Amino acid sequence: MINMRVSSSDISLPTNGAVIKSVDVIQATAPGNVHGEYCKVLGTIMPADPDAPEICFQINLPAYWNGKALQIGGGGYNGTIPDTLAAPVLGLRTVATPLAQGYITFASDSGHQAKGGHDASFALNDEALANYGYMHIKKTRDVAFEIAKKYYGGLPRRLYFSGGSTGGREGLTAVMRWPESYDGILTNYPTAHFIGLRLWGARLARALYDDTSKGWISPDIVERIHQTALDRFDDLDGIRDGVVCNIYAARAQSNQVIEELVKEFRLNGSQISTLNLYHDGCVLPYSLANGVTAIPGYNSLEGILMQLGSHPEPSNPMKSGPNAHHAERADQFFKYFVTRDPQFNLLSLDVNNPGKYEERIVELSNMIDATNPDLTPFQMRGGKILWVQGWHDPSVSPFANINLYKSMLEKMGESAVASFIRLYLVPGLAHGGGKFSVTWDNLNILDNWVENSVPPPIAPGMDINLGAFGRTIPMCEYPTWPKYSGTGDANDWKSYDIVKA
């Protein structure tokens, strides 16, 4: 198999073919191997544009194949191959890995090479940008299938996708663009409204740093706002445990909370504007892909810690940590995706009136965003989606994903959506874990739904680490939430009622 080539004619999107660079058989007895014997294949997909970077991929071929495959998504601005040996995103670590269960597992670096997932400079090249936006997903899938056919003599009969954040968006993109090629996805806190996230980050930067940073709020006050929310709303779910579960009741008090915060911390008008933007988001005077205009905010008054940075002065380029996290991501986006000017000053941009950049912003939204509300072709072929979003995610607004789900309900109808999608809103879950970690048997539940038409349990038990291992709370489908019944073990998910908002 070494030096095997995959012809460009076997890849459905433009490339110059693919080549295998290395093949290693990992014995079941190898130190640290818990996956059984498998063949590790590394290779590259060559670009159509000779100036574009290649796509690097890894494919793991189990000795005992179950006839299925799992594609794994990346994170941030990508640039590295994600871990293809681990459990699925948010999946149980106490069950065998997908590879050990007999799945082919594979992934790519999305079509450029970088460390840390923060560097967007690759987007100066059109093909690298399109690969990141959507093309690498199908290119990698096609190559993996050709290699599987060569190795096993047949194609996978099922293909699933697992990812979080950027990888969650990639999973949604896969079934929206190529519904005939995928059977199910595990999409976790997806950046489906990618462009909206970046526009919101640009708005936040202006709110914080305009007028000599009058809107910036110091870390000590940010922490006290966070703690005030926990103290005030923690027991709305019947138990005081450091998690706000009844987000709906908490947000109903937001105006009163802001009034109290203004008095307690003597916030100025610009800082109040920052609080309002972070909590409520904004609305654009123009439409992104699929008619999206709303950019929702976050639960910044219900328990998340606002990411405003440790220093009031913005740097150029902006850096997450000293500067606001979302401002840094927006800075990279506008420098390399939109203006393609590495010297562009984000603080010169008016998101509501972007002038000559508006057309480019909308063009990128149509390329990258995963907001198509009509998934009928995927539904009709029997595809299934398990979708998880944390209520306390500081990176992806839960309300953005709720809005996408609502648009699907409006377009397809409740019965159709219920036949193939489950959206779970999880209290305490941040972006990929954070203070609270969540695991559940997502891949096996998805596979059982696809293979045997067994729908997910009404409220599957979810392990949640709140400082004590072994605690569980129920996974609640939107728009329900978990309320402690007042009796029974508070560490057992069966002691909670599922309450509809």
Q: What is the pLDDT of residues 23-64, one digit of tens each?
A: 999 999 999 999 999 999 999 999 999 999 999 999 999 999
C-alpha–C-alpha distance, residues 147 and 154, integer Å:
10
**Dist CA 225 CA 306 (whole Å):** 9
Beta strand 282-283 with 294-295 is antiparallel
CA distance 16 to 6: 9
Distances (CA, A) of 420 to 377, 381, 382, 407: 12, 10, 8, 15
- CB-based burial label for 154 (10 Å; 0-12, 13-18, 19+): exposed
Q: Most confidently modeled of 92-101, 237-246, 403-412, 483-492? A: 403-412
Q: How far apart are alpha carbons 234 and 64 in whole angstroms?
A: 48
DSSP 146: H
What end-to-end distance do the CA atoms of the chain give, in Å?
56
Residue 69 has pLDDT above 70, yes or no: yes
Mean of pLDDT values over 449-473: 74
Look at residue 94 in the predicted model and tell me its pLDDT: 79
Count Cβ neighbours within 10 Å for each residue of 314-351 and write b for 16 or more, e otherwise.
Answer: beebbbbeebbbbbbbbbbbbbbbbbeeeebebbebeb
Cα 196 to Cα 293: distance, rounded to the nearest angstrom: 8
Query: 194, 461 in Cβ contact below 8 A?
Result: no
- One-letter identity of residue 260: E
Give the pLDDT confidence score for residue 468 in this predicted structure: 45
String of DSSP letters for 372-427? ----HHHHHTT-EEEEEEETT-SSS-HHHHHHHHHHHHHHH-HHHHHTTEEEEEET
Angle at 80 between CA 74 and CA 86, to 5 degrees: 60
User: pLDDT tens-digit profile of 321-362?
Assistant: 999 999 999 999 999 999 999 999 999 999 999 999 999 999
Active-site residue numbers? Answer: 165, 393, 431
Element (H, E) at 138: helix 136-152
pLDDT computed for residue 64 by the predictor: 97
Q: How confident is the model at residue 227 (pLDDT cuts 50, 70, 90)?
A: very high
CB under 8 Å to 422, separation ≥6 — which residues? 385, 386, 387, 455, 456, 477
What is residue 243's predicted lDDT score, i.e. its pLDDT? 87
Mean pLDDT across the chain: 94
**Percent of the chain scoring above 70 in pLDDT:** 96
Q: What is the pLDDT of residue 475?
A: 84
Distance of CA 18 to the CA centre of its chain: 28
Determine the average pLDDT of the residues in 15-30.
96
Q: Is 38 helix (H, G, I), strand (E, B) or coil?
A: strand
Residues 6+ apart with CB under 8 A from 243: 234, 237, 303, 427, 428, 436, 466
Which amino acid, 103? Y
* Number of other CB atoms surrounding residue 410 within 10 Å: 11
Distance CA 121, CA 103 (A): 34
For helices 254-265 and 219-233, give the axis angle rounded to 10 degrees. 140
Q: pLDDT tens digit string along 359-372?
A: 999 999 999 999 99
Tokens for 257? 């909370």
DSSP codes of every residue in 287-336: --GGG--EE----TTTT------S-SSPPSS--BTTB-HHHHHHHHIIII
Look at 120 and 475; give whichever has higher pLDDT: 120
| DSSP β-bridge partners for residue 186 | 162, 386
Give the residue among 196, 191, 390, 411 at the shortest CA–CA distance from 295.
196
Is 119 or 71 the better-scoring residue by pLDDT? 71
Residue 210: the pLDDT is: 97
Amino acid at 488: G
pTM of the model: 0.96
The phi, psi pair for 14, rounded to 5°, reads: -60, 125
pLDDT of residue 147: 97
pLDDT at 462: 63
Residue with tokens 């294949």: 41
pLDDT at 432: 76
Give the model confidence (pLDDT) of 153-197 as tens digits. 999 999 999 999 999 999 999 999 999 999 999 999 999 999 999
pLDDT tens for residues 468-498? 456 778 888 999 999 999 999 888 888 999 9
Under the banding of pLDDT at 50, 70 and 90, the label for residue 464 is low
Q: Between vectors from CA 164 to CA 159 and to CA 169, what angle results, nearest 5°?
A: 75
Task: Please give the pLDDT value at position 466.
Answer: 47
SS3 labels along 266-284: CCCHHHHHHHHHHHHCEEC
For 479-495, give one letter per residue: b (16+ CB within 10 A) or e. ebbbbbeeeeebeebeb
Query: Six-digit token pair at 47?
Result: 């670009």
Two tokens at 414? 């409740």
pLDDT value of residue 492: 85
Question: Residue 318's pLDDT is what?
Answer: 94
Q: What is the pLDDT of residue 204?
A: 98
Give pLDDT, residue 435. Answer: 54
Residue 500, H or E segment: strand 496-500
Residue for token digits 């080539």? 5
How far apart (Å, rounded) are the C-alpha atoms in residues 285 and 379? 33
419-453 pLDDT, tens digit per residue, is 999 999 998 888 876 556 678 889 999 999 999 99
